[in-house]
Chains A and B, each alone.
Chain A
């Protein structure tokens, strides 16, 4: 077999294998290569009213979760920060104030609609000196090794197709001593709270989505994707496996949300 033929065969095998690989899209199993498009569809649909829905769904508590994330980040003037899946720029806005004129914040999202909303919002709030915007995939970060002091991904990791690949990619772009913060829905630590939370997620949430964005399916996906996301200990293990050191997590609101922290050795 010639080299060209061998290469073509390998490519065909890879494509065949890829097309047969499955991943989760909520409770639904989809082909791996289709997940990004399906997720993109969800966020294109909700981008315009994302903030309103966040406030309604969490009763405003998402601001407290993000506030705590900022505190744990330890970001100082002059730092370089990458906010992945930054959505409407809540974290990026705070980081831009903390890093000052000598620092840099990159607000990124895989979804153009979300990124546009975030960019408009930050510009409207007068942030224009130290924030750049990038549409990117967390699995393939287009930055040099050892670039950032801090990388955050808030409510985004569960939508990434290959989470392990994204964690390795983040580790690569962090400076040694830099930290990753993953803010994500997790597993409630109390069985009663879990039951109430289930009722809320699968009954009230899609209803609210229907009323406000006329899109119940996207919010049903949100609830399902939260259940399919790794729990606290599993995600910590994934970060350890990716190569992070001193990994730990903080449960918030009874474990409904957890903040994971890992340091690049």
Chain B
């Protein structure tokens, strides 16, 4: 990728993050303490960005001369989903190399981000309209989050209970248990059969000998 393009991408990301961090000084201070470099490599499109903390917020680079402490590799979707579900990398499609501690520090900061929307809007709209607009945005975000959760729940119910195109979670668990039981029974049967075959083969020469005598 042309360095001008990658520099434009990193400059934009850096600008957005640092603008937001102005309104969350606690997170900004925590980020300033992170000196180690985290590399995030997107496989398609091929782009690696590097980040570490500075007193101004986050520094995002398209080229880094310093050694990286942690590297994450994956598709953009996988990397973004990692931000939403930070507890485990298992099955996320993201590979990690290097220090896990650095990743956990970033994830902890991301989870605890608390942007002061009122302050952010006030700096644009002024002291009277700003707080009002900020409250509307905050309550709007809260409402949309709640609605999103409710809608997801309703959609799940509709698909499983009304359309019956997918099993419910309980049915799936019961099915899984049954499969496990059958699997274990089959293994036991296999073990018994193997043992029977072994005994039969062991006794066979003796029986033949007795018959001859």
A residues contacting B by CB (< 8 A) are 61, 63-65, 67-68, 71-74, 76, 97, 250-254, 259
Contact = CB atoms under 8 A, between A and B. Distances in A.
Interface in B8-57: 8, 10-11, 54, 56
Q: Specify the main secondary structure of chain A where it touches its partner.
A: helix
A250 B3 contact: yes
Nearest to B61: A71
A71 B2 contact: no
Contacts of B162: none
Given A253-B2, A253-B4, A64 B11 contact: yes
Q: Specify the main secondary structure of chain B where it touches its partner.
A: mixed
Contacts of B7: 64-65, 67-68, 71
19 contacts: A63-B11, A64-B3, A64-B7, A64-B8, A64-B11, A67-B7, A68-B62, A71-B7, A71-B63, A71-B65, A72-B63, A74-B65, A76-B66, A251-B3, A252-B2, A252-B3, A253-B4, A254-B2, A259-B3
A61 B4 contact: yes
B62 A65 contact: no
B136 interface: no
B64 interface: yes
A5 B3 CA distance: 59
A71 B62 contact: yes
A74 B3 contact: no
Contact of A64 (B4, B54, B63): B4
Contacts of B66: 74, 76
A65 B64 contact: no
Contact of A67 (B11, B56, B65): B11
Interface residues of B, number: 16
Instruction: List the 6 shortest-distance A-B pairs measured between CB atoms, nearest first.
Output: A74-B65, A64-B7, A71-B63, A68-B3, A253-B4, A71-B61
Interface of B: 2-4, 6-8, 10-11, 54, 56, 61-66
A48 B64 CA distance: 34
Contacts of B62: 68, 71
Contacts of A252: 2-4
A249 B8 CA distance: 19
Contact of B4 (A68, A73, A76, A97): A68
Contacts of A251: 2-3
A64 B2 CA distance: 11
Given A68-B4, A252-B3, A253-B2, 17 more contacts: A63-B11, A64-B8, A64-B11, A65-B7, A67-B7, A67-B11, A68-B6, A68-B62, A68-B63, A71-B61, A71-B65, A74-B66, A97-B54, A250-B3, A251-B3, A252-B4, A253-B4
